[in-house]
Amino acid sequence: MKRIKLVVAYDGTNYCGWQVQPSGITIEQVLNQALSQLLGEEISVIGASRTDSGVHSLGNVAVFDTQTRIPPEKICYALNQRLPDDIVVQSSCEVDLEFHPRKCYSEKTYEYRILNKKIPMPTLRHYTYFYYRNLDVERMRQAASFLVGRHDFKSFCSVKTQVEDTVREILSCTVEKSQEDVVTIRVTGTGFLYNMVRIIAGTLISVGIGELEPEAVVQILEQRDRNAAGPTAPAKGLTMIGIKFHKNS
Amino acid sequence: MKRIKLVVAYDGTNYCGWQVQPSGITIEQVLNQALSQLLGEEISVIGASRTDSGVHSLGNVAVFDTQTRIPPEKICYALNQRLPDDIVVQSSCEVDLEFHPRKCYSEKTYEYRILNKKIPMPTLRHYTYFYYRNLDVERMRQAASFLVGRHDFKSFCSVKTQVEDTVREILSCTVEKSQEDVVTIRVTGTGFLYNMVRIIAGTLISVGIGELEPEAVVQILEQRDRNAAGPTAPAKGLTMIGIKFHKNS
């Protein structure tokens, strides 16, 4: 028996997110089916980031156990033959049997992209949130700086989840605007709460249009109340960029 | 009567190109229908670049004549309400009644994008041509430099068309590779033959993998024979970036 780690990229547009659920097709489900067919075993992957419906990925991570004799590095090529063109495994390798992608130290990076101009651009419609009111990127950067560090992010967590410990650490949070008017919020952290990046994005947008002062982020953190933060920005602007693990992978 | 110029962006994935034709829905047809409904007149647009099936645009240009009293600059907003989300008019303005987008001096810019890595990336699948053999960008740049200037581009023209004069002028042709392994060929010229940018892209790819020497481009131009150049690269890698007109617009 060996444990295989996959780096999984997908266009989330046509999926009901990562996690298997009754109401629609998910990334996890498509991977499980393709792997089970390929390897002739019943496979259930464990995902690192259980992304929401409509969220994209360049580098999510999943592991599974198998008895296959296919060389670990070759599994991705064989698997991609059985996957639709909106889910593509970027690499595969063997890891320790103890390696669990949600139970070890990791640094996850997400990007939230906003198309900030008066009129939408069709080729960006699935991968950016179109927002026509002008965003002041410098103000957003100031607000972002208050999020960096170890904080209680209860205000930035969907009320739908009931996690006990809402303390998380953000290692960096940057905001850039491209020539094509795409504002990119890039967040790296060692752990994230449910909807956390999308609520950060919604809050930074509120700062960018002047509804909130950059310094307000400090009070929002202190209030530990979801209503204190800005709205949850739409899923399609969010992309899981990649995950660094410090050992076993 | 006034003449209105539209700057038209589209994701060409689901269209049979620009020009109205019997076998499938086209950009021109969708624009004509939406404009005719909006303005209550029979409208037929004239396009600057009659892009092929699957080709995208950030800034193609179309003109039409109308008697509407809607302010010219507002037409794009009203029109976008009636267009699908993969066709979006970026701006509208009044131009001289004599202005014809294919009969006056213009500088058109196209980009051809190649995803050059071992495994495809789902979020780029509609907007890049996936090519896994390693491309030497420096060789492609050298080859591109030979294309700049006024030349007979008969070797770079689909045999399907029967234009008499195949002399065209390319003002610049650059090749860049991004951190995400996207090789972008950017071509600006005062006129293009049918499939010319896609044949240039296919030829530069042949140079990039070593099948052709960069200097071979000089002989290919001299031969005036489509078979001398490389293959026609797939449509989805091509995007019409924009058009500059030197007067009347």
The pLDDT of B200-213, averaged and rounded, is: 98
Predicted confidence (pLDDT) at residue A204 exceeds the cutoff of 60: yes
Question: Tell me, what DSSP letter sits at residue B16?
Answer: S
Query: Do B85 and A127 count as a contact with CB atoms less than 8 A apart?
Result: no
Q: What is the largest CA-CA distance in chain A?
A: 59
Find chain B residues with C-beta within 8 A of A111's C-beta.
none
Write down the pLDDT at residue A20.
85
Over pLDDT 70: what percentage of chain A?
Answer: 99
B195 CA: distance to closest CA in chain A (Å): 21
pLDDT for A247: 64
- Enumerate residues 29 to 58 of chain B having a beta carbon within 8 A of any beta carbon in chain A: 56, 58
**How much is the pLDDT for A70?**
97
Here the tokens at position B52 are 């092929």
SS (H, E, C) A143-164: HHHHHCEEEECHHHCCCCCCCC
Residue A40 exposed, middle or buried by CB count within 10 Å (0-12, 13-18, 19+): exposed
CA angle A163, A152, A105 (to 5 degrees): 70
Residue A65, classed as helix, strand or coil, is strand
Q: Identify the closest residue of chain B to A91 by CA–CA distance.
A: B119
pLDDT tens digits for range A86-143: 999 999 999 999 999 999 999 999 999 999 999 999 999 999 999 999 999 999 999 9
A10 Cβ under 8 Å from any chain B Cβ: yes
pTM: 0.94
Q: Report the percent of chain B where pLDDT is more than 70.
A: 99
Read off the pLDDT of each residue in B150-171 and give the average, rounded to a whole number: 93
Identify whether A52 is a catalytic site residue: yes
ipTM: 0.92
pLDDT interval class at B169 (50, 70, 90): very high
DSSP string, A186-222: EEEES---TTHHHHHHHHHHHHHTTSS-TTHHHHHHH
Measured in angstroms, the CA of A85 and the nearest CA of chain B are apart by 6
Mean pLDDT of chain B: 96
B122 CB near a chain A CB, below 8 Å?
yes
Q: How far is CA A225 from CA A11, A143, A176, A216, in A?
A: 32, 18, 28, 13
pLDDT in tens, A5-58: 999 999 999 999 999 888 899 999 999 999 999 999 999 999 999 999 999 999
Say yes or no: A181 contacts chain B, CB-CB below 8 A: no
CB contact under 8 A, A9 and B121: yes
- Choose the closest CB to B90 out of A86, A90, A119: A119
pLDDT at B161 over 80: no
Provide, as residue numbers in chain B, all residues whose Cβ is less than 8 Å from the Cβ of A239.
123
Name the A residues in 226-245 with CB < 8 Å from any B CB.
239
Q: B155: which DSSP letter?
A: G
Note whether A220 and A146 are within 8 A (CB): no
Run of H or E including B28: helix B27-39
Give the rounded percent of residues in chain A with a pLDDT score beyond 90. Answer: 94
Q: Would you call A125 and B76 a contact, using CB atoms and an 8 Å cutoff?
A: no
Q: What are the angstrom distances between the C-alpha of B86 and each of A82, A85, B31, B90, B243?
A: 29, 20, 12, 12, 20
Q: Mean of the per-residue pLDDT values for chain A?
A: 96
Q: Tell which of A27, A123, A236 to mutate to test the B interface (max B CBs under 10 Å).
A: A123
Is B119 close to A91, i.e. CB distance below 8 A?
yes
Nearby residues of A25 by Cβ (< 8 Å), 6 or more positions away? A14, A15, A16
> Which residues is B65 bridged to in the sheet?
B3
Check pLDDT > 70 for residue B151: yes
Q: What is the pLDDT of residue B246?
A: 80
Tell whether B88 lies on the interface with A, counting CB pairs under 8 A.
yes
Instruction: Return the percentage of chain B with pLDDT > 90, whole number.
Output: 94
Question: Interhelix angle for B137-147 vs B216-223, to 10°?
Answer: 40
Average of per-residue pLDDT across B87-116? 96
Q: pLDDT value at position B248?
A: 46
Q: CB distance A89–B56 less than 8 Å?
A: no
As annotated, the active-site residues of B are 52
- Split at pLDDT 50, 70, 90, the class of B247 is low
Are the Cβ atoms of B119 and A80 closer than 8 angstroms?
yes
pLDDT above 50 (res A200): yes
A89 min Cα distance to partner chain B (Å): 8
Confidence category of residue B177, pLDDT binned at 50, 70, 90: very high
Contact list, B239 vs chain A (CB under 8 Å): 123
Residue of higher predicted confidence among B24 and B121:
B121
- Phi, psi (5° rounding) for residue B48? -80, -50
Residue A248: the pLDDT is 47
